[in-house]
């Protein structure tokens, strides 16, 4: 679906275009065209390929989707793949989940084509921002690429912060009795989301370094400092992800230790009660043998005396176990 097709000249907006007008404006000096698509159909990709002379391999990747984040240089153009993460709130007792979308960006000296797939996150604010800064928009397609990448990376920042906050909430309950197993389930669900964010960020950390080095693509040459800023944001997010992953691993180990401690305490209680009943059973077994010459059988106080010995023995054992913390 076509969202917007706009021509710009020297940082000023000329107006919306029809698809068949794109080639006319591409031929004008100082002009560039910015096209935004959402969930593009194969025939739309074919149209864009014809209008912008896109590389066949890049179009093939965009057509199939589900690509690893990357930046590929095709000489006179760039093909950028980034992931869009939408947080799906949990329903019932489940955990929050990420819905992963993609954005494919084709960039040439006089055009930008962005294709958003499987995501409801629009880029209207990015276009408005660029149009409010015509002095920067004069840099052309390179600045638009920066603005799109910066907007996507900035969306990762609150996600990383929310994951840290969620981990802190779980850590508060680590030493709360009888919630260790629930904590482990929560930590594994959190770890899954952290890994999804890492898969979106880590590949880009290396790829964006290509955009501001000495051998940066020509389309990015005038905005190296801007792409360096994007790289710095990615580095900060990646560091945060690594810290959360390490803390999750530690928290899981602590929770497993708490589970083991709780099980050990339960085993102690069972062993203590088993010991108490074992003593009572031993006395009852001895006095229940019914041999003829057992002196207790003819004694009038034998039965209450036997019960008293059993009760006293059990009481002494209970107090002993209570003192040692087994009960």
251 and 266 belong to one structural domain: no
**CB distance 203 to 71 below 8 Å:** no
Segments forming the whole domain that contains residue 297: 261-324
317 and 198 belong to one structural domain: no
DSSP symbol at 67: P
266 and 242 belong to one structural domain: no
104 and 147 belong to one structural domain: yes
**pLDDT per residue as tens digits for the range 265-315:** 777 788 788 887 888 888 777 777 766 667 666 677 777 777 888 888 888
Domain boundary among 228, 259, 290: 259
216 and 160 belong to one structural domain: yes
pLDDT above 70 coverage of the chain, percent: 94
Q: Tell me, what CATH number does 313's domain have?
A: 1.20.58.340
- Global pTM? 0.77
Distance of CA 317 to the CA centre of its chain: 53
**pLDDT per residue as tens digits for the range 66-81:** 888 999 998 888 999 9
Question: Please, is 33 exposed, middle or buried when counting C-beta atoms within 10 Å of its C-beta (0-12, 13-18, 19+)?
Answer: buried
φ, ψ dihedrals at 124, nearest 5°: -60, -40
303 and 194 belong to one structural domain: no
Nearest-angstrom CA–CA distance, 259 and 180: 6
Q: Which one has a higher pLDDT value, 87 or 85?
A: 85
Domain boundary among 259, 286, 309: 259
251 and 277 belong to one structural domain: no
Unique residue bearing structure tokens 């050990």:
264
pLDDT above 90 coverage of the chain, percent: 22
pLDDT classification of 114: cutoffs 50, 70, 90: very high
29 and 148 belong to one structural domain: yes
29 and 18 belong to one structural domain: yes
Average pLDDT for 175-184: 77
Using CA atoms, how far residue 191 sits from 83, 168, 263, 297, in Å, is 18, 13, 25, 69
Q: Which residues pair with 105 in a beta bridge?
A: 80, 114
**pLDDT per residue as tens digits for the range 15-54:** 888 888 888 888 888 888 999 999 888 898 999 998 888 8
Note the pLDDT of residue 297: 67
pLDDT classification of 230: cutoffs 50, 70, 90: very high
Domain boundary among 259, 294, 313: 259
81 and 106 belong to one structural domain: yes
**How many independent structural domains does the chain possess?**
2
**pLDDT per residue as tens digits for the range 267-277:** 778 878 888 78
Flag whether pLDDT at 10 surpasses 60: yes
30 and 169 belong to one structural domain: yes
**CB distance 42 to 59 below 8 Å:** no
Note the pLDDT of residue 113: 93
134 and 23 belong to one structural domain: yes
Please name the residues in contact with 34: beta carbons below 8 A apart, sequence gap of 6 or more.
4, 5, 6, 7, 8, 111, 112, 114, 127, 141, 144
CA torsion through residues 156, 158, 161, 167, sign:
negative
Q: Tell me, what CATH number does 168's domain have?
A: 3.30.460.20
Distance of CA 248 to the CA centre of its chain: 12
Flag whether pLDDT at 254 surpasses 60: yes
């Amino acid at each position: 679906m076509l969202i917007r097709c706009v021509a710009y000249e020297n940082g000023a907006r000329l107006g919306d275009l029809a698809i068949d007008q794109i080639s006319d404006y591409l031929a004008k000096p100082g002009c560039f065209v910015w096209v935004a698509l959402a969930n593009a159909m194969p025939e739309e990709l074919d149209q864009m390929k014809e209008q912008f002379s896109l590389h066949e391999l890049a179009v093939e990747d965009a057509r199939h989707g589900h690509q690893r984040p990357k930046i590929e240089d095709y000489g006179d153009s760039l093909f950028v793949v980034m992931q869009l993460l939408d947080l799906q709130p949990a329903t019932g007792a489940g955990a929050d989940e990420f819905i992963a979308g993609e954005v494919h960006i084709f960039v040439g000296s006089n055009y930008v084509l962005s294709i958003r797939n499987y995501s409801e996150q629009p880029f209207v604010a990015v276009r408005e921002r660029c149009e409010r800064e015509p002095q920067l928009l004069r840099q052309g397609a390179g600045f638009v690429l920066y603005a799109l990448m910066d907007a996507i990376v900035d969306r990762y920042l609150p996600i990383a912060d929310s994951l840290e906050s969620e981990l802190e909430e779980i850590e508060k309950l680590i030493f709360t009795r009888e919630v260790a197993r629930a904590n482990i389930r929560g930590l594994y669900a959190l770890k899954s989301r952290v890994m999804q964010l890492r898969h979106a960020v880590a590949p880009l950390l290396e790829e964006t370094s290509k955009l501001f080095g000495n051998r940066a693509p020509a389309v990015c040459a005038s905005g190296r400092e801007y792409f360096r800023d994007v790289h710095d944001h990615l580095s900060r997010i990646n560091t945060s992800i690594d810290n959360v992953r390490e803390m999750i691993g530690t928290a899981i180990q602590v929770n497993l230790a708490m589970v083991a401690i709780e099980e050990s305490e339960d085993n102690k209680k069972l062993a203590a009660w088993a010991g108490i009943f074992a003593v009572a059973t031993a006395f009852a077994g001895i006095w229940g043998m019914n041999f003829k010459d057992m002196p207790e059988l003819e004694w009038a106080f034998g039965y209450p005396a036997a019960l008293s010995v059993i009760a006293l023995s059990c009481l002494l054992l209970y107090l002993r176990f209570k003192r040692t913390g087994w009960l």
